[in-house]
Amino acid sequence: MDATRWTQINALFNAVLEQPVTTRDAFLQTACKDDPDLLAEVRSLLAADADAHPLFDSLALDAMVLPADLLPEGILPAAGERVGPYRIVRPLGHGGMGAVFLAERADGQFEQQVALKLIRNGAGSAQIVRRFQSERQILARLQHPHIARLLDGGLTEDGRPFFAMEYIDGVPLDQYCEAHGSTIEERIQLIRVACDAVQSAHRQLVVHRDLKPANILVTSDGQVKLLDFGIAKMLSGVDHAIGDPMNNPALTQTGHAVMTPAYAAPEQLRHEPVSTATDVYALGIVLYELLVGERPFDFSGCSPAEIERIVSSQPPRLPSMAAPANRKRQLKGDLDTIVLKALRKEPERRYASAEALAADLQRHVDGRPVQARPDTAGYRTRKFIQRHRAGVTTTAAVLVLIAALVSFYTTQLAQERDRAQLEAVTATQVSGFLQDLFAMSDPSETGGTEVTARMLLDEGAARIERELTGQPAVQARMMQVMGEVYLTVGALDAADPLLERSLTLRRTLPDAPPLDVAASLSSLAGLRYETGAYATADSLYRAALTIQEEHQGPDDPVVAATLHRLGWVLFRQGKFEQADALYQRALAIRTTQFGEADPQTASTLSHIAGLRYEQDDLDAAETLYRRALSVRQAHFEKDHRDVATSLNDLAMVLGDKGAFDEAEAYYREALAMRERLYDGHHADVAHSLSTLAHLYWLKREYATAEPFARRGLAMRIDVFGEEHLATAASMATLSRILDALGDHAEAADIARRALEIIKATMGAEHPYVASFHSLLAAALHAAGTLTDAEHHYRQSLTLNRTLFPEGNTTMIGALTGLGGLLMETGRPAEVEPLLREAIALAINRWSEDHWQVPDLRSRLGASLTEAGRYAEAEPLLVESHATLLTSLGPDHARVLRAQERLDRLYALRGHQP
Amino acid sequence: MSQPFTALLDDLTGGNRTVIDAVLPQVYDELRALARHKLRNERANHTLNTTALVHEAYEKLVQQERMTWQNRAHFFGVAALSMRRILINHAHRRNALKRGGGAPVATFEDGMAPRAVHAAELIDLDNALQRLEQLSERQAKVVTYRFFGGLTQKEIAEALGISVPTVRRDWRLARAWLSRELGRDAASSKPSTDPPA
């Protein structure tokens, strides 16, 4: 593209934006009728305009805050400058702690070249120097041919700490191996030497804490030298030994660590006590890197919290799987096992010492059996479930299920096979499963790896079918678990046959435990609910409930869980009272069994709050949502899916109550939390976006609302597809906003589509169908399509009257709208009963004083005026005008309208009072 | 300084290339010197606020000279170009070391939630801006001034000698174009995934 073409695009882009939204595309097509490329380009830019990159989100960019290491070279001394008793010769490099220089004694006392490490300026310099003085005795004892000696330390003139070390003319370990094309055996040999040096320091009770190739140099004659022993500890924050170090061979200290994240052990990243096992872990990473050619984890673009999560939870890929093809064979087996043992997440499960790691490496080289054993599936699963008990993402939930599944697989089948052999095989399968599934949580890979996860699941399902036919009890259980996994990842079609067969198998087995049958019934009910077959879900849950009550008694947590789920099925069908009764029973059981402050109790509370909201009891809903929120916040303590849900729910009620600012704050908090939890793209993020858009609509900030509504809708279509209740809800929000922005045609199109979706998903007899008829009617009304609008207003009212013989406040909008339409089409006589019904509902909903009531009375007065019933109209118009004036002030649009209606009465009647 | 600083700024109207080349190093050096000074004398974790930094550099550079109202805006434009250069250099350095960790390069504060920006993102933006310069130098400047210099629409209009509505239109189209380009960069730099074992 050239600048001339760009000018043309520029002009057209701006011209299109000046058109009303409805005619933009037609305008564009006319302008580009001979130039399809131009049409495509401008359309694409308009799409990008509607969905701008988040970098440009902020409307008023106040400031950019820069990190302190923006200009690291700015603080370095130049050659010839003095630092303490040393004179700088030349820089050697710089790292996280500061810069390193080649330096020599400036006072001529010795002819010695040193590596001078200048620590970046910062707080605590004096403390570092004090620590140096207390540590130097210990460090002086570190005399080992493969450890570079620490010679001196002090403060520079401007108060920065420096250390002088024996200068080693060598290259980092990884570069050395690369440059010399070292074989696997040679690399192992170098690591073994490093292990010996580390072990000798550990004997002196010195932990390195920052081992990495850059700190393991190899000289030109092939000698390994470890740098920086003891430095990291001196630079750490407040340290204190845990227990007596002399009696505790595994030195442990805590404090703010100096470390390199790529080589840091999980405990280091969590700022937990470090020990000799921390150095073993770092040696494991270095070993991995030397053998494979890359490190086990890629942290590019990760935040510190993400790094911590990866290192704490993600198993490293097997070296033999990660290595280039020509090395795979050599690494498979012993070396895989040795590396993974050094890299265990739990310090106590790594090699007990660097020496033990070196010894196992030597055994491998000698061809003797190594002592490390593959990780066991059972242990891994237990730890995994412990870690993810408060699991934060769907992925984690899937993983828990997968882990449970594989663990089950192991324990059940082990009866018939050699247990140890099976554990070894399964451990490999587990790590493979988990690795690939963990990749799903990487947002940049979501598209690709979902396939991978699905393929793995399919393979698991096929294996259950193939290999377990002789064990129907095991097979039924596996099918249920597997079906649940499919259900969790949304693969409903795959879940169906598994859950059906699980139930059939258990029902036909003579000795199947009844509770297992109930579990299968419940799982299948969950699937039927997801596919919208509510009646089937209902009867399946009830069948499960009968079995559970019979065998566990009426007050068992299992019963509560089923009551809760069944309640939800009824809730979603609009059967609020039946749902309420079930929830109350579930709540009573859970409160007794788990207490008030339990997340399961909070979950039922939260559902009851949702019911109250649907039933229009906003005060009760607010109270219950606040209780659920505080229980969840106290229980989870940090970001969690359920906390975000509670925040969002509470905000929704507050928004409806008119507490907009508080609602906005909660919505924003929920949105931010969900974006953190799900990396920005998820059903819950879409929910937050749509609800926030709805709030801005309530606040009449329509232009602010629109982009949130569009992003929310696009994300929901992406996640759920079109035919889904949630998608229809987002459409409703967007339709209302567009209506308010004056784009009635698009608003009506969207509302019509939403109504179709609601009918298809909820059935024709649902309260939502009435609401969506009303929504569509309002949009059509505004667009001037009056016949159609009237039809939908009446559909809405008819359905509402069938479902709610006592009346329902959602009818007020339809009644008022239809009243207005009848006035516009010259049928004022039909308006009176509609508005009287609306007034009664409004008084019931709010109170006599609420501005909606006089506003409706004013409208009623206007209809009476037009029908020629002046005497009845006058008191209504006068009183409602006065009331509105008092509550809204003289300039409010509704007050002005009331005044106009009064004026119209006097104009028609011919005289003032 | 070979020329009085304000005289140089006065020549900047319309974006005279040679004058920018003469002024830019001065502003760049001054910004760096100021940043260095602050980093030396303040706490280790101190962060710098670009807008404050640019304003301080301005005060310092023009202390002895009388400034007219226009060339103050010009100065901020040049400062924005300098900040872009400083930040992008920094981002490249960070990116080269990225396997060591992924701390964000900068954080935008816009009165709401701060947003962290990573080195790769800034580099992508810089590359896209260079491509945009081929299409419209002015639009690329509008983005640079706003994004890297924190200039208001009015200040941008003054610095470039155009109207505020033009700034707004330029920003909107540039934003759309850059959003599309950044989407493409992100897509093309996605790591390829291994097939399942």
Q: How large is the ipTM? A: 0.73
- Among A510-524, A545-559, A646-660, B16-30, whose mean pLDDT is lowest? B16-30
- Higher confidence at residue B51 or residue B16? B51
Say whether both A311 and A207 belong to one domain.
yes
Chain-centre distance of CA A248, in angstroms?
Answer: 41
Say whether both A291 and A255 belong to one domain.
yes
Residues A37 and A649: their CA atoms lie apart, in Å, by 46
Of A10, A56, A432, the CB nearest to B175: A56
* C-alpha distance from B21 to closest chain A C-alpha (Å): 22
> Is A444 buried (19+), middle (13-18) or exposed (0-12) by CB count in 10 A?
middle
- B101 and A17 in contact by Cβ < 8 A? no
**Chain A residues near residue B49 by CB distance under 8 angstroms:** 63-66
Residues A74 and A61: their CA atoms lie apart, in Å, by 28
- Among A266-280, A361-375, A548-562, A789-803, whose mean pLDDT is lowest? A361-375
Quick one: pLDDT at residue A429?
A: 43
- B102 and A57 in contact by Cβ < 8 A? no
- According to DSSP, residue A316 is labeled P
The answer as to whether A443 is a domain residue is no
Closest residue in chain B to residue A9, using alpha carbons only:
B173
- B44 and A303 in contact by Cβ < 8 A? no
- Higher confidence at residue A384 or residue A178? A178
The answer as to whether A98 is a domain residue is yes
* C-alpha distance from B115 to closest chain A C-alpha (Å): 8
DSSP-derived pairing of the beta strands A82-83 and A63-66: unpaired
- B182 and A6 in contact by Cβ < 8 A? no
Quick one: pLDDT at residue A247?
A: 30
- Give me chain A's average pLDDT, please: 79
Say whether both A152 and A296 belong to one domain.
no
Residue A623 has pLDDT above 90, yes or no: yes
Say whether both A191 and A268 belong to one domain.
yes
Q: pLDDT grade, residue A236 (50/70/90)?
A: low
The answer as to whether A636 is a domain residue is no
Quick one: pLDDT at residue A42?
A: 92
**Chain B residues near residue A260 by CB distance under 8 angstroms:** 100-101
Say whether both A82 and A227 belong to one domain.
no
Q: How is residue A391 written in tokens?
A: 């699991």
Quick one: pLDDT at residue A77?
A: 63
The answer as to whether A341 is a domain residue is yes
Q: Write the CA distances from A469 to A228, A459, A479, integer angstroms.
A: 61, 16, 12
Say whether both A177 and A317 belong to one domain.
yes
**Chain A residues near residue B50 by CB distance under 8 angstroms:** 63-66
Range of the domain at A354: 170-373
Q: How is residue A294 written in tokens?
A: 């890359």
Q: Are A163 and A125 in contact (CB under 8 A)?
A: no
Say whether both A256 and A354 belong to one domain.
yes
Which is the catalytic residue, given A2, A107, A196, A210? Answer: A210
Quick one: pLDDT at residue A863?
A: 92
* Beta pairing partners, A512: none
* C-alpha distance from B66 to closest chain A C-alpha (Å): 27
Q: Are B130 and B176 in contact (CB under 8 A)?
A: no
The answer as to whether A462 is a domain residue is no
Q: Span A331-348, mean pLDDT? A: 88
Q: pLDDT grade, residue A75 (50/70/90)?
A: very low
The answer as to whether A334 is a domain residue is yes
Report the percent of chain A where pLDDT is more than 90.
32
Q: Span A513-539, mean pLDDT? A: 88
Q: pLDDT grade, residue A492 (50/70/90)?
A: confident
Q: Span A660-684, mean pLDDT? A: 85
Q: Which sign, positive or negative, has the C-alpha torsion A898, A901, A907, A910? A: negative
CATH number at residue A308: 1.10.510.10
Say whether both A145 and A260 belong to one domain.
no
Closest residue in chain A to residue B189, using alpha carbons only:
A444
Say whether both A98 and A137 belong to one domain.
yes
Say whether both A100 and A153 belong to one domain.
yes
**Chain A residues near residue B51 by CB distance under 8 angstroms:** 62-64
A69 catalytic, yes or no? no
The answer as to whether A884 is a domain residue is no
Residues B1 and B63: their CA atoms lie apart, in Å, by 14
Residue B27 has pLDDT above 70, yes or no: no
- Among A33-47, A298-312, B70-84, whose mean pLDDT is lowest? B70-84
The number of CA neighbours under 13 Å toward the Cβ of A490 is 9
Say whether both A240 and A134 belong to one domain.
no
HEC string for B98-149: HHHCCCCCEEEECCCCCEEECHHHHHHHHHHHHHHHHHCHHHHHHHHHHHHH
- B102 and A300 in contact by Cβ < 8 A? yes
**Chain B residues near residue A310 by CB distance under 8 angstroms:** none
- Higher confidence at residue A147 or residue A681? A147
Of A62, A261, A455, the CB nearest to B51: A62
Q: Span A579-601, mean pLDDT? A: 92
How many domains would you assign to chain A? 3
Report the percent of chain B where pLDDT is more than 70.
36
Say whether both A176 and A160 belong to one domain.
no
Q: Span A326-343, mean pLDDT? A: 87
Residue A470 has pLDDT above 60, yes or no: yes
Which of A46, A55, A157 best tests the B interface by mutation, with the highest count of B CBs <10 A?
A55
**Mind giving me the DSSP string for A36-72?**
HHHHHHHHHHHHHHHT--GGG--SS--EEEEPGGG-G
